Structure 1
Amino acid sequence: MMKEVQSGKLTVYIASLHEAHAPTFKNTMFGNNLISTIDPANIKALELDGYIADFALFDRHVARMINVLLRGHSASTSGSSSTFYLLTVDSATEFLFGESTGSLHTYGSHIASTVVGSLAGFAEAFNTSQEYLLRRVLAQRFYWTINPSKFRNANAQVHEVVDHYVQLALLSKHAGKTQKVGHGHGPGRYVFLEALASGTDDPKLIRDNLLNVLLAGRDTTASLLSSVFFFLARNARVWEKLRREIVGEFGDCHRPGNEITHARVKNLTYLRYVPNETLRLLPPVPVNFRHAVKDTSLPVGGGQARNAPIYIKKGDIVGYNVYAMHRRTDIWGADAHVFRPERWAENPPRGWEYLPFNGGPRICLGQQYALIEASYTIIRLLQEFDILENAEEDQFAEPRLQANLVLAHRDGIHVRLYSSTTAKGGKGGLNAVLEKPL
């Protein structure tokens, strides 16, 4: 498993084990029983124990990203620091802290923040911490052996930034003031940090909650957006159909249509189908685990027919691979490995067979926030650009995935975006070329 982590193929490797063995099988890892499953009934058994999207907030950051793209800049050659990740860290930190970390400003004239320390490296430090955290998870009881200085330094940098905002919130609270954490939000705007600080004075508890939500709010949405454009760049028919729906409702950058609202976004069926199908094939959290706190059982996977219950003793670990379950041909059909958004108009399996956001009491709190943010970003990009091309050298290459705590494209996605209002190529005629990752 450690070898596959290094190569970025852990998720695919675990999926191959299910193909070789069964939907549910057991092995041993560092002396612990590890039960791996892609049976929806078992996953449901494991789990039985909303944010309000701000379009004005989204628009500021998406507009800044589009401006970066139009100037021909790209964020980085690192997939997890690519443009979408800078977009989502900026929007997530403004929602959480009341002030954005300004990562996209790295490619502008200034960094708009008062935080002490290096904001420019915040996103990269966050990525580094996750890389080592995955290794520590896989090391189980020996997690403590993975603690290099690079990991500790990255943690310290992330904590420095978050602690700054936590202290501002606590000082503001005790001074009897409100809405003073950041400088970019107006009266009445919801700030997650202020809500946390109103209930506790424990700075570490507040920081841990912020980092927990930041991980969910940044990485999963950026992963989804990267995957959407990975598939759109390889499926011209889907791109054109999606763009017709969006422009028909909201217009484009030259001919504005209806205002973008929650209700109108949710009414666009193909705009729902494309992210749904993307989340099916490339779920941002492809693998998850549960630890048995008492002797129990799972409903299926045992016996010669593999339909009998299986015993789970206290201390056993049950891992489930959503990536592999979403590709089961007995659930999704013979074309389960094919990107085809239309399947969502054909009454596909739902419930515990489709789990990009988990389910039950542990369902993702930010599910609607993530989908609305992703949808808004897709709308704005398709309003701005009408031509999308795959810029990979190998036009038919499979996605190069990198499994940290959240699935990412190892080298970002290489695409070209154009507006046909100016000629492609030629000096000044190219609206945006993303030779580096989006």
Structure 2
Amino acid sequence: MSQSIIDQAQSIGLQILPYLTKWYSVIILTGLIYLISINLKNYINAKRLGCQNPPFFKLAGFTGVPALLEVVKRKNDGRLADYADEVFEVYNSNAIYLNVCGVLKIIFTIDPENIKAVLATQFNDFSLGTRHAHFAPLLGDGIFTLDGNGWKDSRAMLRPQFAREQIAHVKSLEPHVQILAKHIKSNGFNTFDIQELFFRFTVDTATEFLFGESVHSLYDQKLGLEFPNDIPGRENFATAFNVSQKYLATRTYMQSFYFLTNPKEFKECNKKVHHLAQYFVNKALAMTPEQLDEASKDGYTFLYELVKQTRDPKVLQDQLLNIMVAGRDTTAGLLSFCVFELARNPEVWAKLRKEIIDNFGEGEDSNVDAITFENLKKCKYLKAVLDETLRLYPSVPVNFRTATRDTTLPRGGGKDGTKPIYIPKGSTVAYTVYKTHRMEEYYGKDSRVFRPERWENMPRLGWAYVPFNGGPRICLGQQFALTEASYVIARLAQMFTTIESRDDTYPPKKCIHLTMNLEDGAFVGMK
């Protein structure tokens, strides 16, 4: 490049610099005016409605980015749930808030009345916000990602699939329990991670219930068992599903910055999950109505019933994967946390075993046929054990909603926390059930202690206990998950006399993807 050309470029640059500076000034001024006007509008509206802000989360600063980064860091360290617990203790409040660049308001709350407002009494004031964008690469357009009419249509389609007669069929679980027991016995009384087995167990039961065939991930070389069927992509499915959910969780906690999390590994794992789901969907769509009826005669299959309502392969794939998240992960997490605590509390395990044995026998004298949906519901201490597990370890410890209009939350504002909080349109409300379930106001001084006996005379808790969400979006599959967990715990109590904890870490680190499980596994010895 000649010196003359360089000189010309510098001359042009000097000429346009004043114009650029002018435009930068206009942009900055416009931004300031917008920022001032929106905050003034919110201040006036809040004043008119008698609202006051809760304590400000100081770590967030002006941009809110440091707080979001800290949340992601704590999530990756397995300490996010306990971090939220600590923050509310520090501020001694049932609500705190932060702002993102002075515009977007994010409120965190543990107050049952606020949770009730978001999920029920003011349901139409809130939506899933950007959740669809967060989850769409894996889950597409399903019941967990859609709002409005799309969600209503999904719920209407799926509700019949969770009728009592469907969830009452526990006999299909027994073959998988037998393989699970073989794995446990193969360890002798040595230390092993039962959570890893539970996740394989629930992917096996969920794929059988949803797709009509199990991927049989518990069949492995350790037991010397050959796969009883040939499903393409089976070997990659469980791992890919886990990895994809890990990325979805990070996208969720990054909120509006979710698009920064979209690596190659995420895309490849999504593709593997979709490949297996498409195999089953295409197989079902190729069947005649007579073939579908024949395939269903020995047991209920979610996909076969869904095909009778829609033949859109994308709708079928998305809804199946949405239910897979719930049917597999929540149950695996519940079972893992339950055994983790039972191993640490031998007196609870002994009391639970007695109830199960009194009702269904043990060992060779086990009356497995008597372990039905109806009979499991009669086991009050088993129910208390699962309720206590879900109290301390709710499947979704933190959840979010976005305001669809200017609205309020009933409590948490002001110095005494009794004033309503103004929620501008577009604001995010995060409700932290994990902390709500530990509030001494509802659960006593020992609220952080695993004690199933508290449920024997528990007063009505209302929205202080919401392990399956609440309101119009309450979990459709809660009875399905509780029935499966009850059956597995009952069978383990019949087959094993001792569960011994082999983990000194307490409280345990918790992995939060779309649902919660133990970060490092549940290490026990069983005999």
Deviations 1:391-434 (A, max 9, x none): 22x2x63212111111111121111111xxxxxxxxxxxxxxxx
Q: CA deviation at 1:77?
A: 8.3
Matches of 2:462 and 2:269, distance apart in 1: 38
Q: Which moved more, 1:338-347 or 1:48-57?
A: 48-57
Which of 99, 103, 125 pairs up with 1:28? 99
Q: Report the equivalent of 1:435.
A: none
Matches of 1:348 and 1:417, distance apart in 2: 35
Deviations 1:54-77 (A, max 9, x none): 211111111111122222399x98
Matches of 2:194 and 2:373, distance apart in 1: 30
Aligned residue runs from structure 1 range 399-418, under 5 A: 399-418=508-527
Q: Report the equivalent of 1:428.
A: none
SS in structure 2 at match of 1:121 = helix
SS in structure 1 at match of 2:446 = coil
Q: CA deviation at 1:239?
A: 0.6
Aligned residue runs from structure 1 range 63-74, under 5 A: 63-72=178-187
Aligned residue runs from structure 1 range 167-316, under 5 A: 167-173=282-288, 177-179=291-293, 187=297, 189-257=299-367, 259-316=370-427
Q: CA deviation at 1:32?
A: 2.5
Closer, same or farther: CA 237–368 of 1 in aligned 2, 3 Å:
same
Matches of 1:247 and 1:114, distance apart in 2: 38
Matches of 1:60 and 1:410, distance apart in 2: 28
Are positions 1:42 and 2:151 aligned together?
no
Contact kept in structure 2, 1:101 and 1:112, CA below 8 Å: no
Contact kept in structure 2, 1:77 and 1:411, CA below 8 Å: no
Matches of 1:266 and 1:387, distance apart in 2: 24
Aligned residue runs from structure 1 range 53-92, under 5 A: 53=167, 54-72=169-187, 82-92=196-206
Closer, same or farther: CA 409–235 of 1 in aligned 2, 3 Å:
same
Are positions 1:123 and 2:238 aligned together?
yes
Contact kept in structure 1, 2:193 and 2:522, CA below 8 Å: no
The structure with the larger Rg is 2
Runs of 4+ in 1 over 3 A off after TM superposition: 76-80
Q: CA deviation at 1:262?
A: 1.8
SS in structure 2 at match of 1:137 = helix
Deviations 1:312-339 (A, max 9, x none): 1110000011110000111211110111
Closer, same or farther: CA 227–348 of 1 in aligned 2, 3 Å:
farther
Deviations 1:122-150 (A, max 9, x none): 11111100110011112222222211111
What is the count of residue pairs matched by the alignment?
Answer: 408
TM-score (norm 1): 0.89
Q: CA deviation at 1:216?
A: 0.4
Q: Percent identity?
A: 42
Q: Report the equivalent of 1:421.
A: none
Q: Report the equivalent of 2:474.
A: 363
Instruction: Report the AA paired with residue 95 of structure 1.
Output: F
SS in structure 1 at match of 2:385 = helix
SS in structure 2 at match of 1:377 = helix
Deviations 1:246-300 (A, max 9, x none): 0111001222247112222111110110000011011111110011111111111
Matches of 2:429 and 2:194, distance apart in 1: 30
Matches of 1:73 and 1:57, distance apart in 2: 27
Are positions 1:149 and 2:221 aligned together?
no
Matches of 1:177 and 1:306, distance apart in 2: 61
Closer, same or farther: CA 214–3 of 1 in aligned 2, 3 Å:
same
Task: Please tell me the root mean square deviation across aligned C-alpha atoms, in Å.
Answer: 2.0
Matches of 2:454 and 2:444, distance apart in 1: 10
Which of 104, 121, 125 pairs up with 2:218? 104
Are positions 1:398 and 2:469 aligned together?
no
Matches of 1:285 and 1:202, distance apart in 2: 30
Matches of 1:416 and 1:217, distance apart in 2: 27
Which of 131, 138, 150 pairs up with 2:253? 138
Matches of 2:242 and 2:449, distance apart in 1: 30
Instruction: Report the AA paired with residue 197 of structure 1.
Output: V
SS in structure 2 at match of 1:168 = helix
SS in structure 1 at match of 2:219 = helix
Instruction: Report the AA paired with residue 36 of structure 1.
Output: F
Matches of 1:294 and 1:172, distance apart in 2: 46
Instruction: Report the AA paired with residue 105 of structure 2.
Output: N
Contact kept in structure 2, 1:286 and 1:322, CA below 8 Å: yes
Q: Report the equivalent of 1:333.
A: 444
Matches of 1:103 and 1:331, distance apart in 2: 41
Q: CA deviation at 1:201?
A: 2.3
Q: CA deviation at 1:186?
A: 5.2
Matches of 2:437 and 2:308, distance apart in 1: 41
Instruction: Report the AA paired with residue 219 of structure 2.
Output: H
Are positions 1:2 and 2:72 aligned together?
yes
Contact kept in structure 2, 1:242 and 1:270, CA below 8 Å: yes
Q: CA deviation at 1:171?
A: 1.2
Q: Report the equivalent of 1:114.
A: 230
Contact kept in structure 2, 1:301 and 1:307, CA below 8 Å: yes
Contact kept in structure 1, 2:188 and 2:526, CA below 8 Å: no
Matches of 1:398 and 1:310, distance apart in 2: 33
Contact kept in structure 2, 1:79 and 1:409, CA below 8 Å: no
Matches of 1:145 and 1:302, distance apart in 2: 33
